[in-house]
Amino acid sequence: MTPPRLASLALAGARHGFFGRAGGVSEGMFASLNTGLGSSDVPANVSENRKRCREALGAVRLVTLYQVHSADAVIVTEPWDGAGPRADAMATRLKGVALGVLAADCMPFLFIDPEAEVIGAAHAGWRGALAGVLGATIAAMTSLGARPHRIRAALGPCLRQPNFEVGLDLFEAFTSKHPDSEQYFAPGAAPEKRQFDLAGFGRAELVRAGVERLDDLGVCTLGEKSAYFSYRASRRANEPDYGRNLSAIALPAAP
């Protein structure tokens, strides 16, 4: 299994991958690499899928969070089993422990400061992005010795403009807090709709936090629904649940 990777992270020494649907054992609407512990998939299949991702990264452990669309970031001092703490970002200096975030349209960001040997991962839907989860991730990494200007960040598959159509309430929520965010909204199919460039907003948030090196996989989950799980695609298909894509990063385990 060889998931998409970005050169900026690989050259900095990070083991990482933006996993999609391929390479797993799940069936039906979860086919095939569903890694979501909170889904209604067969638990044994999810466990096997997560194991395959961990092994592809060469990591000893894989940790994910009980994601709640918050601005909360945690420091990983030791790996855990299961869903993990309620948060949406994490940072660590542990080697061989993969930090993973789950998404099915939301933004998955991976981070590394190669000099400080600090990594981070963040799940950012529009709620988390508006709340400030990306800045909180940089702050968590900084508390471990990272420096924003040294951090390399990468954005994986997520819902992209023009597939991300929203109402005026969301437009007003962003522009009232960030007046300059109007530039990330284009006219929608109807006067009361807007097309949101969440990825553009997320990248700008990291620039504001001091990050200078940022890559973007440029993949839309809804636009490539056969390759990636998409919440909106599942809703359009009237499916009762949906799979989750894993994006994960690890420092190489000590020899």
Return the residue matching tokens 């990591």. Answer: 59
The pLDDT, as a whole number, for residue 247 is 98
Structure tokens at 162: 């023009």
Phi, psi of 235 (to 5 degrees): -65, -40
| 9-160+197-250 CATH choice from 3.30.1490.20, 3.40.50.10300, 3.20.20.150, 3.60.140.10 | 3.60.140.10
Closest alpha carbon to 130 in 69, 67, 192, 215: 69
Q: At 41, is the pLDDT very low, low, confident or very high (cuts 50, 70, 90)?
A: very high
Comparing 5-19, 70-84, 131-145, which segment has the lowest mean pLDDT? 5-19
Strand pairing category for 185-187 and 152-155: unpaired
Strand partners, 103: 245
Rounded CA-CA distance 67/48 in Å is 21
Tell me the per-residue pLDDT of 201-226, one tens digit each, with 9 for 90 and over.
Answer: 999 999 999 999 999 999 999 999 99
Q: DSSP 3-state assignment of 229?
A: coil
Phi, psi of 72 (to 5 degrees): -85, 130
> What tokens were used for 9?
């992270």
Given pLDDT bands bounded at 50, 70 and 90, which one contains residue 7?
Answer: confident
Q: pLDDT tens-digit profile of 57-107?
A: 999 999 999 999 999 999 999 999 999 999 999 999 999 999 999 999 999
Compute CA distances 35 → 90, 119, 190, whole Å: 18, 21, 36
